[in-house]
Amino acid sequence: MTVFEGKVAIVTGASSGIGRATAELLAERGATVVCAARREGEIAALAEEIASAGGNASFIRTDVADAGDVEAMVAHAVQTHGRLDIAVNNAGIGAEVYQIIDTPDDWWDRVQNVNLRGNFLCLKHQARAMLAAGNGGAIVNVGSVNSFLGCPGAAAYCVSKAGQIALTSSASAELASQGIRVNLVCPGVTDTPLHHEIKSNLGTEAFEGMKAQTHQRRFGDPLEIARAIAFLCSDEASFVTGTSLTADGGFHLTL
C-alpha cells in the first residue's frame, strides 16, 4: 500500500513504542518520515532501518518541550524533504505514579511541558509550515483514554491528556478551512516501554485489572495504534477533523 507516496511526515517520540511503529508504518505506506525524539542513537537506527527496507527517512534530535528544537524539527522537514504534509505528535511521558497530595511540583510541570505544551509547540510550527506551503495537511495528536478518564495516581498525566482534546478541536476549528485536519488518537493500554514502566510502578495486580476492564481482555499492540493514526493521516479520513478516536479495545466504555 503506498497511500502516502510523495508525502512528508514528522513523527515525534519515534524512538520507541507507538511512535516507532507509526514511523515504520507510514514509511511502509510510502511516506518520507522525519523521526524525532531525544535519543539520537535510536532514531538514527530507525531511519537506517526504514532506508534498508526501501523507504525514505531522516532523523533529528528533538526535545518537544523546547521551542527552538521544535522549530528546527519542522525546518528540517521542509528544508531536507521540500514539504510537510503529515505530523504525528506522539511524544509523551507519564510513568510515575503519585497521589495528588504527594505529587512533586516539578513532576507536574514536566508532564504538562512535554505532553501538552510540547503538543502545542509542535502543532504551532507544523501548522505554520503547512499554511505557508498551501497544500493542506493532516495532524494527529496522541492522547490517551486518560484524555477522558481520571485515574488515581495519574492526575498530572490525565490533565495533560485531557488538554489535548481542547487543543485538537481548537486547532481543527482554526485550520480546517485551509485544508488542514487535526485529530486525536486515544490509545488504551498498549504494550510499549512506557506500559512496562507503569506496570512496575503500579504493581502487577492493579495493572492486570486494566486488562480485565478492556472489552477485548488484552492490551494493544503498538501497530494497532499506528494503524488508527495512519487512517486519520490518510485521505480515507477526508471528512474527519477535530475528533478523538479511541483505540482501546473498549477500555473506556467499561463501567
Ligand X SMILES: NC(=O)c1ccc[n+]([C@@H]2O[C@H](COP(=O)([O-])OP(=O)(O)OC[C@H]3O[C@@H](n4cnc5c(N)ncnc54)[C@H](OP(=O)(O)O)[C@@H]3O)[C@@H](O)[C@H]2O)c1
Question: What is the binding site for ligand X (CB under 6 A)?
Answer: 12-13, 15-19, 37-39, 42, 62-65, 90-94, 114, 142, 144, 187, 189-190, 192-195
Nearer to ligand X, 15 or 213 (CB): 15
Neighbours of 108 (CB within 10 A): 17
Nearest distance from C-beta of residue 86 to ligand X, angstroms? 17
**How wide is the angle at C-alpha 174 spanned by C-alphas 183 and 66, nearest 5°?**
70
**Shortest reach from residue 208's CB to ligand X, in Å:** 14
In whole angstroms, the minimum distance from the beta carbon of 226 to ligand X comes to 10
> For residue 36, which of 92, 109, 82 has the smallest C-alpha distance?
92
Q: Which triple of cell numbers denotes residue 76?
A: 528540517
* Residue 157 designated active-site: yes
Rounded CA separation 114/109 (Å): 9
Residue 162 has which C-alpha cell? Answer: 485531557
Q: Is the CB of residue 34 less than 8 Å from the CB of residue 10?
A: yes
Task: Considering the complex, state which of residue 15 and residue 126 has its C-beta at the smaller distance from ligand X.
Answer: 15
Closest CA to 219 of 240, 199, 239: 199
Q: Which of 4, 59, 120, 157 is catalytic?
A: 157
Identify which of residues 32 and 144 has a Cβ nearer to ligand X in the complex: 144
Least distance to ligand X, CB of residue 240, Å? 20
Question: Which of 91, 167 has the CB closer to ligand X?
Answer: 91
Catalytic positions, please?
A: 157
